[in-house]
Chains A and B, each alone.
Chain A
Amino acid sequence: MKKVEINPITRLEGHGKIAIFLDDDGNVDDAFFQTVEFRGYEKFLQGMPIEEVPRTVSTVCGVCRAVHFMASMKASDGVYGVTPPSAGRKLRELFFNSHYVEDHAVILYALGFPDFVVGPEASPAVRNVVGLIQAVGAEVGKAVLKKRSCAVKIFEVLGGKPNHPVAALPGGWSKTLTEEEREQINGWSKELVELGKLTLQVFDDVVLKNPKYMDLVTGDMYRVEVGYMGSVDENDRITYYDGTQKIIDSDGKLVGTFKGKEYLDFISERVQPWSYLKFPYQKKLGGWQGIKDGPGTNLYCVGPLARFNVASGMDTPLAQEHFERFHATFGARPVHQVLGYHWARAIELLNAAEKCVALSEDPEITSPDAWTKPTSCPGEGVGIIEAPRGTLIHHYVTNDKGIVENANLIVATTHNNGPINLAIKKAAKHFIKNGDVSEGMLNYVEMAFRPYDLCLACATHAVNGGQAMEVNIYGSDGELRRTLKNF
């Protein structure tokens, strides 16, 4: 058996690698994705006052710093048995939705769109955000970056500190808004809506109107048939900050709904000896069945595509129009085509921007009543949010002083671990035939996992670029025949 290995060469990003095994005919026999996801934060948090946890866990990931902050803050509400007043909740939602816009914009323009705008087989030297800007033009690039910066400004005003939010309180939010700040945020939010419209126009022009790309988006090479999980509101619409978790099987049948600690009734995690990352599965559908898709599987996905599959619609008018178009294009539900993540992500960007406008026009947003003071400490809390890349669960148990005794964190990339393995295997099987590995193979395999927006221990980072990969191709005699690199 031959082995093709895609290795990261950047140590700061963690220990992720892809190994593809070829059979004697040079076709793909199996493929595996391995990574280190967490750096022991669960242990590090033990002994820490719960009030300090949101600021601490925001360092888990420099990219998605707001999401760990938000999930742990919600868990701290439970630890102290408090519910934020309406204004406090709305401030949190405004903060979180601005982060959504920023995060989705970066993922789409820097990581997702270059595959389509510059081309999936283009050299990595140009298949990146700089190449994208050169392809779409500087004026579009400037507009995107300037509008995106409005999301960062909202994030900073509400977060209480540049770059790193500090406004979390158990039971509320410490940064209230003046009328002047509200007006400013409202103006920035309207710019974000324009960014959402522009983003969907780019996706329309580049992908939806290109038959070759639509074959990739709707074809079987990136189709992974699993179940899905995401948050919905009381009207079964997609929600990000808070809702009810809805989980369906691969046929779209409802498995159940849950809140808070009930996640333990629905999710189990399987340890595999070859990966540091656990494999969650739906325990209501039986025990561990292995990494397989198709009818009967109890693997499931989270993230934009999952949210589009579990929900009936969206809660803002422009995004709802695109939600309907999305499902009309794919037809059958659930949508199992992984590249649909990118489209769903672009629609969610618009949805989050529309929410920012609505929240910043809500008269209650400037209320000073943003905090419910805790009076007791029941000592256990679960915070579940929909991070941009999928469901994030923080679960803490504390003593009666609010000192953390146990912590459990389940992040989106962990939920998606099984499906990511399947997506890589599907793409590898499609693009590697008879031992003929093309130059573009590496990127076609990357395109299989990029929609999930992996978060590989990104608390650290690399000045020379993370996730650089090398594919080594060995002949049946064990000799290295060829090396492909994206660095």
Chain B
Amino acid sequence: MNKDYLVMGIGNPLLQDDRAGVEVVEALEADGNFPGELEVAYTVGFEVLDKTLGRKKAVIVDACLLGREPGTILKLTVDDIMGSSSLSNSHAVTLGATLKTGYELFPEEMPEELSIILIEAENVSEFSRTCSPKVQKAVGETISMIRDMAASWVA
């Protein structure tokens, strides 16, 4: 396992589509030969920064509700989510704030390549350990995408 590479899934593992990022990580773990570290976080916050520092390449997978068709996959860069709209909250530190803080304070320790993959959720309030069908399909596509990315990292 190479600590230079990280895939982190974010979400509540008990809520149907919110668990999409968790499901991606669980599937990669089940492969048993992923060439990097795999982590799960229940929510965004500084713990994401803790796990991201010191990596060369990282992928963060999360569910989102942005009004798109359920199962839509968005691949974003850090710049895409570091706008001012990402920085305010009343209880948690947002992903945008976390990553922007990292690049402001520890630029030399943050990944040179950081991808954020968002999967549009359909239902994030039902208790379930299985995503809805459209999101499940997107989870499968995301897993393939990350396997390809990982293959290029170690090529």
- Asked if A332 lies at the interface with its beta carbon under 8 angstroms from chain B, I say no
Contact B84 A125 (CB under 8 A): yes
Bound Cα distance A149, B10 (Å): 19
Contact A63 B92 (CB under 8 A): yes
- Asked if B45 lies at the interface with its beta carbon under 8 angstroms from chain A, I say yes
- Asked if B87 lies at the interface with its beta carbon under 8 angstroms from chain A, I say yes
Contact A130 B97 (CB under 8 A): yes
Contact of B90 among A65, A126, A148, A449 (CB under 8 A): A449
Residues of A within 8 A of B90 (CB): 111, 446, 449-450, 453-454, 456, 466-467
Contact A162 B39 (CB under 8 A): yes
Contact A163 B40 (CB under 8 A): yes
Residues of B within 8 A of A135 (CB): none
**Which A residues, 430 to 487, have Cβ-Cβ distances below 8 Å to chain B?**
446, 449-450, 453-456, 458-468, 486-487
Residues of A within 8 A of B47 (CB): 152, 163
The chain A residue sitting closest to B116, CB to CB, is A463
Contact of A56 among B14, B39, B51, B81 (CB under 8 A): B14
Residues of B within 8 A of A460 (CB): 11-12, 15, 18, 43, 124
Distance (Å) between the CB of B16 and the closest chain A CB?
Answer: 11
Contact B101 A130 (CB under 8 A): yes
Interface mask (B106-118 → A, CB under 8 Å = 1, otherwise 0): 1000000000101
Bound Cα distance A145, B101 (Å): 10
Contact A465 B105 (CB under 8 A): no
Contact B104 A130 (CB under 8 A): yes
Known contacts A62-B43, A130-B104, A462-B94: A11-B65 contact under CB 8 Å:
yes
- Asked if B152 lies at the interface with its beta carbon under 8 angstroms from chain A, I say no
- Asked if B55 lies at the interface with its beta carbon under 8 angstroms from chain A, I say no
Contact B64 A466 (CB under 8 A): no
Distance (Å) between the CB of A303 and the closest chain B CB?
Answer: 13
Contact A465 B42 (CB under 8 A): no
- Asked if B78 lies at the interface with its beta carbon under 8 angstroms from chain A, I say no
Contact of B94 among A65, A125, A142, A465 (CB under 8 A): A465
* Chain A interface mostly: loop
Bound Cα distance A58, B43 (Å): 12
Contact B91 A141 (CB under 8 A): no
Contact B12 A465 (CB under 8 A): no
**Which B residues, 79 to 138, have Cβ-Cβ distances below 8 Å to chain A?**
81, 84-97, 100-101, 104-106, 116, 118, 124-125, 127
- Asked if B44 lies at the interface with its beta carbon under 8 angstroms from chain A, I say yes
The chain B residue sitting closest to A57, CB to CB, is B14
Contact B105 A133 (CB under 8 A): yes
Contact A128 B87 (CB under 8 A): yes
Contact B124 A468 (CB under 8 A): no
Contact A463 B13 (CB under 8 A): no
Bound Cα distance A44, B82 (Å): 36
Known contacts A39-B15, A145-B105: A465-B88 contact under CB 8 Å:
yes
Residues of B within 8 A of A62 (CB): 12, 41-45, 92
- Asked if B50 lies at the interface with its beta carbon under 8 angstroms from chain A, I say yes
Bound Cα distance A467, B50 (Å): 24
- Asked if A206 lies at the interface with its beta carbon under 8 angstroms from chain B, I say no
Residues of B within 8 A of A429 (CB): none
- Asked if A138 lies at the interface with its beta carbon under 8 angstroms from chain B, I say yes
- Asked if B34 lies at the interface with its beta carbon under 8 angstroms from chain A, I say no
Bound Cα distance A40, B116 (Å): 30
Interface mask (A110-134 → B, CB under 8 Å = 1, otherwise 0): 1100000000000111111111011
Bound Cα distance A277, B153 (Å): 49
**Which A residues, 82 to 123, have Cβ-Cβ distances below 8 Å to chain B?**
106, 110-111, 123
The chain B residue sitting closest to A12, CB to CB, is B65
Bound Cα distance A464, B81 (Å): 7
Contact B92 A458 (CB under 8 A): yes
Contact B81 A128 (CB under 8 A): no
Bound Cα distance A455, B66 (Å): 22
- Could you jot down 9 A-B contacts, CB within 8 Å? A44-B14, A106-B46, A148-B46, A450-B90, A453-B91, A456-B90, A460-B18, A468-B85, A487-B85
B residues with CB within 8 A of A: 10-15, 18, 39-47, 49-51, 62-66, 81, 84-97, 100-101, 104-106, 116, 118, 124-125, 127
A residues with CB within 8 A of B: 10-12, 39-40, 44, 56, 58-59, 61-63, 65, 106, 110-111, 123-131, 133-134, 138, 141-142, 145, 148-149, 152, 162-164, 446, 449-450, 453-456, 458-468, 486-487
4 pairs of A and B residues whose beta carbons are closest in the complex = A62-B43, A62-B42, A125-B84, A128-B87
Given A129-B87, A152-B47, 10 new contacts (CB under 8 A): A62-B42, A106-B93, A110-B97, A123-B84, A446-B90, A461-B42, A462-B65, A464-B66, A465-B88, A467-B91
